[in-house]
């Protein structure tokens, strides 16, 4: 249920409503709108009609059921798009498209700093790089782990770029959160409910990737796991889904951008690198993502992709990335955005 407060409701009235929600056995989540607050009352769906008794309380305008199975992620709870703050200088969800770029994995100090400097020079807003890598094969490079996090922090110190890096299990989530500006939940983990709950308890923004065989509704239900734990900073990422097509690594579902826009207030990012698996296709899909209205992009860039420890074939060289940034700026202007 959503409790819509009146525009002029006082703090005391709101506190009374929060207290009543708790007494009824539900958890309140306050969402601050531009003109009024709404309170999501989350809990057992079966007894939710009892929440209607809140309607006559002072300061309450209405109590309305949320029809979708995802509640806090739903557009019903908040009509305007969420703008999620990552750092003093970076927020995702406004008219500025946020570009995150860097290698698939952190490999060495030289590699990550060279990458960070190159993507910064081209105008990227954030650095990406995996320190803990979830690999399909146990024999593939698994990442530098904490050493990788330290190197990412060093790259941030040098360039000023905040970074996003993957968290692969609940046990190492606190460690990753100590270093990272944004936590990435990878495609292979996007229905790892224990991990989703864990990052929901942390106070760091989360980039939630869509699983390879996940419907849009399932993606929103995974976002709901994070939101319902109290972390309201969730950004969704479409990174290609598995279909019968083998010409690309995955199939980029670009329609996910307008579909998600119609269902959720959460920002949507596109990953054209994992979606295509081939550096030749990354630029076209990046431009298309900007045109489709994506709030951000996450793009793999490597100074020496031929020798990359992971995902070299889909990584752009810095010069190609700089060229792409220039083109994306022109497409962004056509859809009233900036990069
Ligand atoms: C990555 O970003 O390097 C990655 C592993 O992505 P995904 O989870 O989308 O495969
Ligand atoms: Mn990768």
Give the DSSP H or E segment for 284.
Answer: helix 279-292
Instruction: Compute, in angstroms, the gap from residue 303 CA to the centroid of ligand 2.
Output: 15
Q: Which residues contact 56 (CB under 8 A, 6 or more apart)?
A: none
pLDDT at residue number 10? 95
Beta strand extents in the chain (DSSP E only):
2-5, 27-32, 37-42, 60-64, 84-85, 91-92, 98-102, 126-128, 163-166, 182-185, 206-209, 234-238, 268-270, 296-300
Residue whose Cα lies nearest atom 3 of ligand 1: it is: 104
The percentage of the chain sitting over the pLDDT mark of 90, rounded to a whole number, equals 91
pLDDT at residue number 31? 86
> Do β-strands 296-300 and 268-270 pair in parallel, antiparallel, or remain unpaired?
parallel
Residue 44 pLDDT exceeds 90: no
Residues of the chain with CATH 3.20.20.70: 84-334
Beta strand extents in 167-293 (DSSP E only):
182-185, 206-209, 234-238, 268-270
- The whole-angstrom separation of Cα 174 and Cα 1 is 32
Instruction: Compute, in angstroms, the gap from residue 268 CA to the centroid of ligand 1.
Output: 16
Number of the ligand closest to the Cα of 314: 2
Ligand 1 pocket residue status of 186, Cβ below 6 Å? yes
Instruction: Compute, in angstroms, the gap from residue 7 CA to the centroid of ligand 1.
Output: 43
Ligand 1 pocket residue status of 187, Cβ below 6 Å? yes
pLDDT at residue number 200? 97
Interval 246-282: pLDDT, tens: 999 999 999 999 999 999 999 999 999 999 999 999 9
Average pLDDT of the chain to the nearest whole number: 96
Ligand 1 pocket residue status of 208, Cβ below 6 Å? no
Number of the ligand closest to the Cα of 136: 1
Number of the ligand closest to the Cα of 189: 1
Three-class DSSP category at 223: helix
CA dihedral 272, 273, 274, 276 (to 10 degrees): 70
Interval 158-171: pLDDT, tens: 999 999 999 999 99
pLDDT at residue number 79? 87
Interval 172-198: pLDDT, tens: 999 999 999 999 999 999 999 999 999
Residue 239 pLDDT exceeds 80: yes
Burial class (CB in 10 A: 0-12, 13-18, 19+), 5: buried
> Which residues fall inside 5 Å of ion ligand 2, going by CB?
104, 311
Encoding tokens for residue 8? 């002029």
CATH topology of domain 84-334: TIM Barrel (3.20.20)
Residue 130 pLDDT exceeds 80: yes
For 26-51, what is the mean pLDDT?
Answer: 88
Number of the ligand closest to the Cα of 238: 1
Residue whose Cα lies nearest atom 9 of ligand 1: it is: 187
Three-class DSSP category at 17: helix
Ligand 1 pocket residue status of 302, Cβ below 6 Å? no
Give the DSSP H or E segment for 179.
Answer: helix 170-179
37 confidence band (pLDDT: 50, 70, 90): confident
Encoding tokens for residue 197? 């709950």
Closest atom, ligand 1, to C-alpha of 104: 3
Q: Which CATH number fits domain 2-64: 3.40.50.970, 3.30.1490.20, 3.30.390.30, 3.30.70.1140?
A: 3.30.70.1140
Q: Which of 29-33, 154-158, 244-248 has the lowest mean pLDDT?
A: 29-33
Residue whose Cα lies nearest atom 5 of ligand 1: it is: 186
Q: For residue 222, which of 259, 188, 253, 270 has the smallest C-alpha distance? A: 188
Residues of the chain with CATH 3.30.70.1140: 2-64
- Report CA-CA distances (Å) from 297 to 59, 88, 95, 195, 277: 41, 19, 14, 24, 15
What global pTM score does this model have? 0.95
Instruction: Compute, in angstroms, the gap from residue 240 CA to the centroid of ligand 1.
Output: 10
> Do β-strands 37-42 and 98-102 pair in parallel, antiparallel, or remain unpaired?
unpaired
pLDDT at residue number 67? 87
């Amino acid at each position: 249920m959503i409790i819509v407060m009146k525009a002029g409701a006082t703090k005391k009235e709101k506190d009374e409503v929060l207290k009543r929600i708790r007494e009824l056995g539900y958890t309140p989540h306050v969402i601050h709108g531009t003109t009024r607050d709404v309170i999501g009352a989350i809990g057992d769906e079966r007894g939710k009609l009892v929440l209607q008794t809140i309607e006559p309380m002072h300061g309450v305008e209405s109590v309305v059921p949320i029809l979708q199975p995802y509640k806090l992620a739903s557009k019903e709870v908040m009509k305007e798009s969420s703008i999620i703050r990552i750092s003093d200088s970076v927020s995702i969800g406004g008219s500025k498209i946020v570009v995150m770029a860097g290698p698939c994995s952190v490999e060495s100090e030289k590699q990550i700093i060279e990458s960070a400097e190159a993507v910064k020079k081209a105008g990227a807003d954030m650095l990406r790089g995996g320190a803990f890598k979830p690999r399909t094969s146990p024999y593939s490079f698994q990442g530098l782990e904490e050493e990788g996090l330290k190197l990412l922090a060093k790259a941030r110190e040098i360039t000023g770029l905040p970074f996003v890096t993957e968290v692969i299990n609940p046990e190492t989530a606190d460690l990753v959160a100590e270093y990272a500006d944004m936590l990435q939940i990878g495609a292979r983990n996007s229905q790892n409910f224990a991990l989703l709950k864990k990052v929901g308890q942390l106070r760091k923004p989360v980039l939630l990737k869509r699983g390879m065989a996940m419907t849009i509704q399932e993606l929103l239900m995974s976002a709901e796991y994070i939101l319902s734990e109290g972390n309201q900073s969730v950004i969704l990422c479409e990174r290609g889904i598995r279909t019968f097509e083998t010409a690309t690594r995955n199939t980029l579902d670009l329609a996910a951008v307008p579909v998600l826009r119609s269902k959720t207030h959460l920002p949507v990012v596109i990953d054209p690198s994992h979606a295509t698996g081939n550096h030749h296709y990354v630029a076209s899909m990046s431009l298309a993502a900007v045109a489709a209205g994506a709030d951000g992009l996450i793009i793999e860039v490597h100074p020496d992709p031929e020798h990359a420890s992971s995902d070299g074939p889909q990584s752009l060289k810095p010069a190609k990335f700089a060229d792409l940034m220039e083109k994306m700026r022109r497409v962004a202007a056509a859809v009233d955005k900036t990069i």
